[in-house]
Amino acid sequence: MDLKLLDAVASREEEEAVAGFAGGGRDQLLPALHAVNDRVGWLSQGALNLICETLHVPPADAYGVASFYSLFALEERPERVVHVCTDLACRVKGAETVCEVLTEHVGAAGKARGGVTWLRGPCLGVCERAPAALTFQAGDPATTELVAPATGASAVLAAQREPSPSDGSPPLIHQKDGLRLLRRVGVVDPSTLDGYRATGGYAALRNALRMGEAAVLREVTDAGLLGRGGAAFPTGRKWAATAAQPAGPHYLVCNADESEPGTFKDRVLLEGDPFALVEAMTIAAFTIGARQGYVYLRGEYPRALRLLRNAVAVCRERGLLGTDIMGHPGFSFDIEIRRGAGAYICGEETAIFNSIEGFRGEPRTKPPFPVEKGLFGKPTVVNNVETLVNVPLILTGGAAAYRAIGTEASAGPKLFCLSGNVERPGVYEVPFGTTLRELLALAGGVPEGRSLRAILLGGAAGGFVRPDELDLPLTMEDARAAKTTLGSGVVLVLDDLADLGGFLLRIAEFFRDESCGQCVPCRIGTVRQEEAIHRYLAAGSDERALLREVGGVMRDSSICGLGQTAWNAIESAIDRLGALG
Amino acid sequence: MTIVDIGIPRRLVEFTVDGETVRVPEGLTILDACTATGTDIPTLCYGDTLEPANACRVCMVEVEGSRTLVPSCSRKAEPGMVVHTGSERTRTSRKVVLELLASATDLSTTPGVAEWLAETGADPDRFGPDAATVAQPAIVDNELYVRDYGKCVLCYKCVDACGEQWQNSFAITVAGRGFDARISTEFSNPLPESACVYCGNCVEVCPTGALSFKREYDKRADGTWDESRQSATTTVCTFCGVGCNLTLHVQDNEIVKVTSPHESSVTHGNLCIKGRFGWQHVQNR
Ligand SMILES: Cc1cc2nc3c(=O)[nH]c(=O)nc-3n(C[C@H](O)[C@H](O)[C@H](O)COP(=O)(O)O)c2cc1C
Ligand code: SF4
Ligand code: SF4
Ligand code: SF4
Ligand code: FES
């Protein structure tokens, strides 16, 4: 391929940012775009040109990729950008007030003034401390500051001064007893391997290496571990199918994109127990025969990035990543952390592949499935962070003990993300089968003096349940029987004062914003859905028949799960809460 | 492709379409099989010379046992599959997908769509007068073709034809995302500053008229474009030794457009700038 490059020339700063990528290929495109955007704050034609020349990517292609992600700017913008979350949980907790104060003191969203701009944006994944704002300051090095919970005043302050480099405070766990997945979070120093090992870390990998691949596979399968990323697919089956593929190499991808509004459990695991993920991935790699793994981490998780980077580096130093791991001859595995750049769709398992490979984060058509043709066209396992962190539990206690937790069809412990109008928002760990009422009680219920209006279960792609449905046991099978879903574990509580209409509008807006645009039902359907809800809220017109027809076709004919679920929550609000009527 | 080229002997796959048993060579898509056996399925993004992007979702069919509908243009026929091409569910999907497209896009030069809209009883106006559209001014920045993206349905065909599937020029891409996604050069720079080599292969595959030859665009604008007065003659390009087939479209004794037969096993409808545009000298008067 002969490249025709742009005439524009890169600045010295841009050159420095790109220098480290010499000799790289297209799969370095996302990291290279990040490097310039981090350093300068935006991507000029000169910078893009240099990246294209360095990585041998056509400029139009690179532009198509850069313009896909919301964290990249292709027009000059200030070095400091404040992202204010206006998504579900933050909305419930007063994000609009924060925006009003910012507009008054800093100017309208998106307008550059005095070296800063602020933007309204989707969920930042710190819903337990809503409302949240995150400042990015370009430079060498780039810095970030998380302000959560934010007030109008603290957000204005964050916009007006250099961020004091802080990636937020450590996750706080309210629960004390019976924790397995969360037992180290907030207790053990997440930056030291010794702390991890002192609390049983790496016993599971030792067991796995002793047992051999087949036995690990049997144990994980017998444990009945179901994927925790939303689709609840049996992990053992996925691993076995990939392990059995003759084509090589095999890849492992940990899905740490976590951009579902209201979801923050993976962040809490990553920040509180990063070595557990590294160990779990090493076990998975051993079992499926992968030598290379990727963690696809959402771009808005600075603290998780710092701690995970540290964990990977320490493990490499101590022979727990690299070659002949733990002295096991011939077992090599390493992990690369890939930062996302602001695109919910990149959590879809095949969109991740495109994103890592340096293409637009558009989902691929299935079949073929990832276990057969995944990353770089090779057999690949994609697993969620929480799913993986269950694996060491299984390999230390055994499948039978694991199975003793939860129910027959939904085994093990489960993390739920409680946010909204609840006394103590946060991540809670309970056995599958705990009822919604019990879970709510753990978090202190709705604040005193208010009553429960509805719960959004499973996130923006999930559905609403009513106060009279609180005896629902939280299992995959009971959720399915009740025509709802646990999804990624979102439990977003709305009280009697919540603005349900505005909340539904935000859900519709989220899907319209986050559609990749590839297929017609989703690209245009999500726009029509949002318009219809607008019309209802403005004029009270009955849009339910139209919403049902468009929603049904989005569900039936969209390429991927985003379009297929974009109408779930709104449909359930109509059917179960009598909304929009 | 409608012609079922069996090539090296392949196993036959037996499955059911609308209650009829159909046997086709292994590897064919549901769409191929249906076309070959006489069942008509509308398509928009399907390209007879391109890998299916399956983005338009007009060709969706019902396959028993599948949770969602299935794009017939890309799903391979499997033994024992039970396919319905005209069920209530597929008809509703086709209608709504066409309504969505027609409410957002100018489909006035897209062949077939008017009939499909009528057939399915689609009513694109029901999304109201304020429905967002992709309307925008046409881009005329060179002498050879016009980009009128208000007519673009984002079928990806031009990107694939310009990129790795045929031309390897990579001059255009999809930029942005969601409803704001659009076909674009880098930084929306004018085409003459891009990597475009003016082969016109993107225009050849565009199903909507969003990309058109300047001559055709101008003639449409002044009302003198009239396909009923046109004849098409296929001949051989004489510029170089490749010897591509050219189809000359002639109106009133004047060449108004050059295309190339997609069945040609050498070029599959692709040409270079000389074959596609080097005809003015024939008719300089
Ligand atoms: C639009 C969309 C976004 C998704 N985002 C995530 C995500 O952020 N994290 C995640 O683990 N899974 C996400 N998923 C689900 C993944 O596609 C996939 O099912 C999951 O990562 C598989 O891992 P598991 O089997 O361990 O659950 C998403 C799916 C869709 C359709
Ligand atoms: S359903 Fe939406 S997000 Fe998924 S491929 Fe289609 S346009 Fe993209
Ligand atoms: S310009 Fe034409 S070929 Fe290109 S995507 Fe749009 S409709 Fe398809
Ligand atoms: S179209 Fe181009 S490549 Fe084909 S014969 Fe003519 S000059 Fe040669
Ligand atoms: S023709 Fe099949 S999806 Fe467009």
Give the model's pLDDT for residue A563: 98
Judge if the beta carbon of residue A349 lies within 6 A of ligand 1.
yes
How high does pLDDT run on average in chain B? 93
Confidence of residue B7 (pLDDT cuts 50, 70, 90): low
Tell me if chain B has a CB within 8 Å of the CB of A277: no
Selection from A541, A578, A353, A564 nearest residue A454 by Cα: A578
* DSSP E strands, chain B: 12-17, 20-25, 60-63, 70-71, 82-84, 145-147, 173-175, 182-184, 211-213, 230-236, 245-251, 254-259
Give the model's pLDDT for residue A1: 66
Give the model's pLDDT for residue B285: 59
Q: Say which residues have a Cβ less than 8 Å from residue B166's Cβ, sequence separation at least 6.
A: B49, B160, B201, B268, B270
- As a whole number of angstroms, the distance between CA A458 and CA B39 comes to 42
- As a whole number of angstroms, the distance between CA A429 and CA A416 comes to 6
Alpha carbon of A508: minimum distance to chain B alpha carbons (Å):
13
Q: Do A58 and B103 touch (CB under 8 A)?
A: no
Closest CB to A517: pick one of B60, B171, B179: B179
Counted residue by residue, chain B has a size of 285
- As a whole number of angstroms, the distance between CA B196 and CA B192 comes to 7
A514 vs B contacts (CB less than 8 Å): 178
Give the model's pLDDT for residue B3: 53
Q: B21 has which bridge partners?
A: B16
- As a whole number of angstroms, the distance between CA A155 and CA A101 comes to 8
- As a whole number of angstroms, the distance between CA A374 and CA A378 comes to 5
- Supply the DSSP string of B220-281, one letter for each residue: HHTT---GGGEEEEEEE--SSTT--EEEEEEETTEEEEEE--TT-TTTTT---HHHHHTTGG
**In this structure, are strands B60-63 and B12-17 parallel, antiparallel, or unpaired?**
unpaired
Residues with CB under 6 Å of ligand 3 are B 152-158, 183, 205-208, 210-211
Is A490 within 8 Å of A479 (Cβ atoms)?
Answer: no
Selection from A413, A420, A465, A462 nearest residue A443 by Cα: A420
Query: What tokens were used for A436?
Result: 């919604």
For residue B70, report the phi and psi dihedrals to the nearest 5 degrees. Answer: -130, 135
Give the model's pLDDT for residue B1: 42
Maximum distance among all Cα pairs of chain A, rounded to whole angstroms: 70
Radius of gyration (C-alpha) of chain B in whole angstroms: 20
What was the ipTM of the complex prediction? 0.95
Q: Say which residues have a Cβ less than 8 Å from residue B246's Cβ, sequence separation at least 6.
A: B234, B235, B236, B237, B258, B259, B260, B271, B275
Helix (H, G, I), strand (E, B) or coil at A498: coil
- Residue A140 CA neighbour count, 13 Å, CB half: 11
Q: Do B100 and A557 touch (CB under 8 A)?
A: no
Alpha carbon of B52: minimum distance to chain A alpha carbons (Å):
10
Give the model's pLDDT for residue A206: 98
- For A561, name the nearest residue in chain B, comparing CA atoms only: B68
Q: Where are the alpha helices (DSSP H) in A95-202?
A: 95-106, 152-160, 193-198
- Give CA separation, B85 vs A314, A422, A556, A563, B34, in Å: 57, 49, 14, 22, 9
Give the model's pLDDT for residue B279: 87
Helix (H, G, I), strand (E, B) or coil at A157: helix
A344 vs B contacts (CB less than 8 Å): none
Q: Do B100 and A48 touch (CB under 8 A)?
A: no
- Give CA separation, A205 vs A187, A280, A308, B232, in Å: 22, 8, 18, 71
> Three-class SS string for A522-555?
HHHHHHHHHHHHHHHHHHCCCCHHHHHHHHHHHH
Helix (H, G, I), strand (E, B) or coil at A263: coil
Give the model's pLDDT for residue B6: 55
List per-residue pLDDT tens for chain A, 581 residues long: 678 888 899 999 999 999 999 999 999 999 999 999 999 999 999 999 999 999 999 999 999 999 999 999 999 999 999 999 999 999 999 999 999 999 999 999 999 888 999 999 999 999 999 999 999 999 999 999 999 999 999 999 999 988 887 788 899 899 988 899 999 999 999 999 999 999 999 999 999 999 999 999 999 999 999 999 999 999 999 999 999 999 999 999 999 999 999 999 999 999 999 999 999 999 999 999 999 999 999 999 999 999 999 999 999 999 999 999 999 999 999 999 999 999 999 999 999 999 999 999 999 999 999 999 999 999 999 999 999 999 999 999 999 999 999 999 999 999 999 999 999 999 999 999 999 999 999 999 999 999 999 999 999 999 999 999 999 999 999 999 999 999 999 999 999 999 999 999 999 999 999 999 999 999 999 999 999 999 999 999 999 999 999 999 999 999 999 999 999 999 999 999 999 98
Is B256 within 8 Å of B219 (Cβ atoms)?
Answer: yes
| Sign of the C-alpha dihedral computed for residues A12, A16, A19 and A25 taken in this order | negative
DSSP state of A235: H
Is A147 within 8 Å of A136 (Cβ atoms)?
Answer: no
Closest CB to B178: pick one of A4, A48, A515: A515
pLDDT at B51 > cutoff 50: yes
Judge if the beta carbon of residue A484 lies within 6 A of ligand 1.
no
The residue type of B59 is C
**In this structure, are strands A250-256 and A380-384 parallel, antiparallel, or unpaired?**
parallel
Closest CB to B178: pick one of A521, A523, A549: A523
Q: A253 has which bridge partners?
A: A294, A382
The predicted-structure confidence for B176-200, as pLDDT tens digits, reads as follows: 999 999 999 999 999 999 999 999 9
